[in-house]
Amino acid sequence: MTLISGLQIGISTLMTHQRAIDVTSQNIANVNTPGYQRQRVNFRELSGPSGVKNPPIMGNGVHAQGIMRFATPFVDEQLRRQRGISQESSTTEELLRDIESVLTEPSGTGINSALDDFWGAWQDLTVLPVEDATRVALLQSGNQLASSINEAQTFIQQLQDNLRSQVTAKTQRINGIAAEVADLNKQIIQANATNGGPGGAIPLEQRRDQLFFELSDIVDFRLSLDDSGMSRITIGNNALVDEGGARGIEMDENDTPIWSANGRSVDVKSGQLKGILDMRSTAIPRVLGHLDDLAMGLRDQVNGLHQAGFGTDGSTGLDFFVGEDAATFAVNPVLLASPAKVATSSQPNSIGNISVAMEIAELATKPSMGGNPPTVSISGFFRGAVTDLGLRIQHANNNFESSDMVFNHLTDRRQAVSGVSMDEEVANLLSYEKAFQAGARIINVVDEMLDQVINRMGLVGR
């Protein structure tokens, strides 16, 4: 081994372990960075001709062949799938609970409370049928019931309208992620080509992985990667990102996501977008339909009896409720202006006859809805609608908890392989530091030897 070879060994030791220290420092700096996967320098021995016959090949130091990332592609794929399921269930549960809050409002203005007050007011009217105060109280309770139904319908309708903007926002974010991934693809491919293989752009790959996880929260997709660094994203049978770059998604006239290139609907199977679309197209219309059925059931059942009755002023044939749906449901303004027109008797000018009021009061428990023949009372129909909503919430919550449990297990597996351990990194840092110091010592020794050879040899006898 020549002195120059020794100098080369010392220099390679310094350079390689300096790079290892930089990588270890990067790991330590990102110990709390979500999704970060630790990195490690791959050390490779350098060798070359020794200049002598025995041995003809000798070591020339060490080389940092590259930086590897402790990636977990299979676990990441499962994590993305579970994240999509979890986010869909979470989104669905959150929206359903918003609806539940307005339908099961615990205050005295909730629908269930207003129904009880309304039937109770009719019961009171059977006791004091000619008292104006009792009739006014009945009309006020009817107004409160109608107002509760109107407000619930308005809130849920506004929620449905707001979901349209949420779909647009999620679609725009998908496009933004696709554009960024396509740009990262180009940079990673170029860096890998310069590096001579994978690993040339680990920070860019880390950023791209984060985008994949964010995208999985919104929509399900299939991902494929090749050795060049190209990533391809497919949603359904259509490519979102491929060699040609990013493909756009837009909204059609029904605010449904479609592919810009061919106008086909985007096939969404999980994620936040799936939860929002299902709520907008299925769950919310179902609840709105229940409210319409409740309002029209009240209108038809109460009006059918009220029209046949007589008020204390002899009036008859009047509707108690008016409106065509939950949004327009209201007490007849004619009755509000003249409470004496509220029908309680089945005969005109019969003060003691309260048969109509009693029949309407009995609607609280009498089956009058749910088919032919009727199977449930009006109040029972509303309670059934609330129960149905509660079951849907429970189902969404069960799906979320189940998916979240699997997600946490997969996260632990990923962390065990690619997570940063401070103890391990500090131990590596100390090891690399000692190696760096030893490399510097090698250079100092070789420097002294070269000084001896160059400046001091041949001076004897002068």
The pLDDT tens digits of the residues spanning 364-406 come to 999 998 888 889 999 999 999 999 999 999 999 999 999 999 9
Residues 285 and 302 in one domain: yes
Residues 209 and 281 in one domain: yes
Q: Which residue, chain included where needed, has tokens 């979240």?
A: 404
DSSP 332: -
At residue 103, what are phi and psi to the nearest 5 degrees?
-80, -30
Taking the C-alpha atoms of residue 347 and residue 92, their distance in angstroms, rounded to an integer, is: 53
Q: Are 19 and 64 in contact (CB under 8 A)?
A: yes
Q: Could you say which residues of the chain have pLDDT below 50? A: none
- Tokens for 235, please give them: 């949603």
The SS3 assignment for 253 reads coil
Could you list the residue range(s) of the whole structural domain that residue 61 is in? Answer: 3-70+421-456
Q: What is the pTM of this model?
A: 0.85
- Whether 29 is covered by a domain: the verdict is yes
Q: What total of structural domains would you count in the chain?
A: 2
Residues 299 and 396 in one domain: yes
pLDDT tens digits for 208-221?
999 999 999 999 99
- Tokens for 232, please give them: 């391809």
User: CA dist 182 to 212, 226, 403, 418, Å?
Assistant: 12, 14, 30, 25
Residues 187 and 321 in one domain: yes
Residues 191 and 313 in one domain: yes
- Whether 262 is covered by a domain: the verdict is no
Residue 389, pLDDT score = 93
Taking the C-alpha atoms of residue 355 and residue 192, their distance in angstroms, rounded to an integer, is: 89
What stretches of 196-283 show up as alpha helix (H) in DSSP?
202-218, 272-278
Q: Are 288 and 157 in contact (CB under 8 A)?
A: yes
Residues 182 and 283 in one domain: yes
Q: Are 102 and 112 in contact (CB under 8 A)?
A: no
Taking the C-alpha atoms of residue 18 and residue 438, their distance in angstroms, rounded to an integer, is: 12
